[in-house]
Structure 1
Amino acid sequence: MTKEQLCEYRELQKEIKRLQARIEKLKDKNEGYVADVVKGSSIEFPYTQHPILIEGFDAEKKQASISRFKELLSKRVEKSMNRSIEIAEFICNIESVKIRTIFEYRYYDLMTWQQIAYKIGVTDESYPRRIHDKFFEDSPN
């Protein structure tokens, strides 16, 4: 696992939230809207003819397009979730508690190096960053 792949975790989490919100919004989308004008007349004498506007939704068309789009978005959510799980498994498999904690703060909690340093009880913000970078230098990947 590389730093770039780990940094991708943040973006994956944002993408998952964004896609799930989009799926929810899809329910309100006005696809399949149809309108037509027909001719009608009064029910009483003099029976004058006049245009009548009919508006509505083509339920089948709307459902088909929404279902197809939801399916597409759901596949993207699933891919992002699978990638997130791979990254989470990598972090969980780090043996050193200190390193694992730094990685969790950095990638799960989206903390800055300064916040991480404060959380682990050191004043130098470069300390957790050095531990983080050293882990990648020492790792065989």
Structure 2
Amino acid sequence: MIEEVKDIRKRILQTEKQISRIEEEGTVKDTVSGGMGGIQHFVVEGMPVPELRRKKLLLNKRKAMLIEKENELLELMNQVEEYINSIEKSELRMMFRFYYIDGMTWLQVAHKMNQLHPKRRVAYTEDSCRMRNTRFFQEN
């Protein structure tokens, strides 16, 4: 869900750039033929209002979707934090916070845990952290 929110933000930025480009370019010119059997040429100039309107509507829809997804993500993150806080073992709570909330990889989690517990007899490894996670969810 975090990646989905990032993607929506990226799309909003792209749409905003497209709108600003259309507004900067201003009017659009085109030459058309017509009248007197198609031998007369006319220059038509104007602002691409329909395209600009569509882009602004798309931008508003994306912004509304972003707000909705961010609220949904916030609710999910709160549920995850509540669940993690309900775990009895402090060591598991820390590992799960690093992985599920902070978005660290298991290798980063292992390094962080080793920094926090430098005198631990057996160092944390990527595999040991991942296996503790797997065992916890198998048991629960």
TM-score normalised to structure 2 length = 0.61
> Among the aligned pairs, what percent are the same residue?
24
Are the structure 2 counterparts of residues 138 and 15 from structure 1 closer, same or farther at C-alpha, using a change threshold of 3 Å? farther
Q: 2:64 aligns with which of 75, 87, 90?
A: 75
Structure 2 match to 1:24: 16
Structure 1 match to 2:105: 112
Structure 1 match to 2:92: 99
User: Can you list the C-alpha shifts for 1:94-123, whole angstroms capped at 9, x where unaligned?
Assistant: 214433432332244432211110111133
Structure 1 match to 2:48: 58
CA RMSD in angstroms, aligned pairs only: 3.4
Matched, 1:35 2:29: yes
Structure 1 match to 2:4: 12
Are the structure 2 counterparts of residues 76 and 123 from structure 1 closer, same or farther at C-alpha, using a change threshold of 3 Å? same
| Partner amino acid, structure 2, of 1:53 | V
Distance 1:63 1:92 in 2: 43
Q: Which has the higher contact order (CA 8 A, sep 6+)?
A: 1
Are the structure 2 counterparts of residues 117 and 68 from structure 1 closer, same or farther at C-alpha, using a change threshold of 3 Å? same
Post-superposition, which runs of at least 4 consecutive aligned residues in structure 1 deviate over 6 A? none
- How many pairs are equivalent? 120
5+ residue gaps, structure 2, are: 33-39, 115-122
